[in-house]
Structures are given as C-alpha cells and as structure tokens.
Amino acid sequence: MSKVHNFSAGPSILPQEVFQQASQAVLDFNGLGLSLLEISHRSKDFIAVMDEAQALVKEIYNLGDDYEVMFLQGGASLGFLMSAYNMMGANKKSAYLTTGTWAKKAVKEAKSLGEVVEVGSSADANFNYIPKGFAVPADSDYLHVTSNNTIFGTQIHDFPKTEVPLVCDMSSDIFCREIDAKQFDVIYAGAQKNMGPAGTTLYIVKNDKIGKSSMKIPTMLDFKTHAEKESMFNTPPVFAIYVSMLVLRWIKSNGLAKIGQTNAAKANALYTEIDRNAMFKGTAAKEDRSIMNGCFLLNEGLDEAIGQNFLDLCKEANINGLKGHRSVGGFRASMYNALPLESVETLVDVMKTFESKFG
C-alpha cells in the first residue's frame, strides 16, 4: 500500500514505531501473557508506565519537583473549567486572551465562576492574528492563554510576561518546540495531537498552586485530589497513557530542539508555497502563523467549486485530512511532530500541479 500523508487535525499522526510497540502491548504486555488492556492499573507494570510518563514530561521540559504532572481525562474541554476552578483566588477575577474557538470556550467556563477580563481578542478579524501589547490587571488571579489555534492557524510565538500566574492550553502544540515551561503555573493539553491517542489529558501544575483555590471544588475537578492519588483517584485511561509514554520516549530521543527545527522547516515549506502560488492565500497574519496548522483558502476570484479539483489531486497523491474546519472552510494542513517533511513536500508538489492545471 502506498504511503498516506496524514494531515489530520486530530486525532493525528503518531510515530510508526510507537504504533508497532503499542500493538504488541495490546496482545502481550511485558511478556505477562496478558494484554495491556486487561491488567490492573494498580499493578507494578502499569505503575511503572505512569511513573515513566510523568518523569519524561519533567525531563523534556526541564522541570523539577516543584511541579506535579498528572494524566487525567475529559480533554481540554474539561480543562477549561478545571483550570478556572483551581486557579481562582480570593479576587475571583481572571484574565483571558481570546484568540479562537477554544479560547472562547475557556472564557465561557471561567465566567461561570467569577469575573473575566478579556485582555485581548482577535475576534474583530476572525481570529487571524494574536493580540499583543495588552495589559493584565494586577489583581487578576491568573492569565489564561491558548498557545495554538487549530481552526484559524495562529500560534503564540512569544508568551506574555506577566506578574500574575500564567495558565496555558497547549493541546495542539505541546512538545512542538523548545519553551521555558517554568514560566507557566499550569499547562494542560489533550494528548491527541502531539502526544498520544485521544483519551487522556496532560496537566503540568506548579505545586504551590495546588489546593490554594478560594472555590469549593467538586472532588473530581480538584487538582489536589489527583495529585495526592498520583493520577489514580479513579481508573486512568491505561492505553492512552501508555502510548503517550512511548511518544514521550520518542520526543526525548529526538530532542525538542531538533523537533522544533523540523517543524519550522515543514511550516516554512508550506507557507512559502502558499505565498508564491496564485491559487491560494493564507488566512493568518504572517508573524502569527502556526507551525502546527497551516490554514489557507482559494484566492479571491476563483470559483469555490474548483477547490474540489484540488482535493481530488490530493486524494490521488494519498494526502489525507486536508479539508479546513467546517466553521471556516478552505484547507488545513496539520503538521504535527510525527509528520515527515516528505509529506509537506508532496503537498507542495500537488499545489504546484493544481496551479499549472487550473490556474
């Protein structure tokens, strides 16, 4: 079978060696004669998986024992509420940077708990840029940002410097580049982009922020509950955590510096072609373009129906998952960590062929 170039926005491409190891674990885990899917989550074999996954996160991001790493459930959609519950202080006031659909949903959850100040929003231009130069009220309990916006193709390249605690939803660009993780008090991310299959959500929380909320928090939404039980207050999603551990091993072996360089090269190849090709136009401000999700449209004046010709050419080249989000249309090339540069080069070739045939 010919290679499929997987540009899916998520659940997304993962390293092939991870699939091979994970499939073996489903059949026989650690030579136990039992599947990973049927062993106790409290067995020494799975506890070793959880311990390694947590340790790898700290090692990759150069974090110490002043941070707690948890693998929970509910996706970032639950994280919107969970982060607000746990970070809301005595002022019951939070600051949010609104840069897309998911950031708007995070704002909605926080508003159910207290006052929300939107310190910046790019809604005026359909979220095609990242607001800059905004002021954060000093009495805010925290500032929440969304690092990458899958639908609109923007990404924060320089995180704001602020005196209040910084919370970040990194679901779609976690581990895609080198960052100073120590500037964040809370990072949360659904696994299904760069880290593993759908089913688990990573939380990285500074210890001094656990158990300090002014809110009465439901048991399952309290960071303290899960920190004290080492992510095993209830049965964890064992398969998703195991695969995430394998991907974290892969990330460690490659190094964030190399991964970031490769991701930048992929994005540069795509955006160079979008800017050159008369058939297409990018949707995001150039300085804020995402290295994870390249969003683009047909150029002005072109019949929308011709877009199907482009998708047909993509299908012939075994390119999958290129249609844009239903809310914005167009095209979206998601270039997560495991996508090889070769796949982007194949897409660029198809874009050139489309221009020569229909331009």
Which residue numbers are catalytic?
102, 169, 193
Helix (H/G/I), strand (E/B), else coil: 154:
strand
Look at residues 219, 273, 250, 255 and name the one whose alpha carbon lies nearest to residue 338: 250
Q: Which tokens hold the place of 46? A: 């799975």
**Residue 300 to residue 285: CA distance in whole angstroms:** 17
Exposure b/e, 269-282, CB count within 10 A at least 16 = b: bbbebbeebebbeb
Strands 148-149 and 154-155: antiparallel
Q: How far apart are CA 147 and CA 84, in angstroms?
A: 17
**For 10, which DSSP code?**
S
Helices marked H in the chain: 16-27, 44-60, 75-87, 101-111, 223-228, 238-254, 256-276, 307-316, 341-358
| Number of Cβ within a 10 Å radius of residue 142 | 24
Strands 186-190, 166-169: pairing is parallel
Which residue reads 């941070």 in tokens? 67
Q: Name the burial class of residue 58, with classes exposed (0-12), middle (13-18) and buried (19+) by CB atoms within 10 angstroms of its CB.
A: middle
Cis peptide bond N-terminal to 11, omega within 30? yes
Distance CA 289, CA 97 (A): 17
How big is the CA angle at 105 (ends 208 and 238), to the nearest 5 degrees? 60
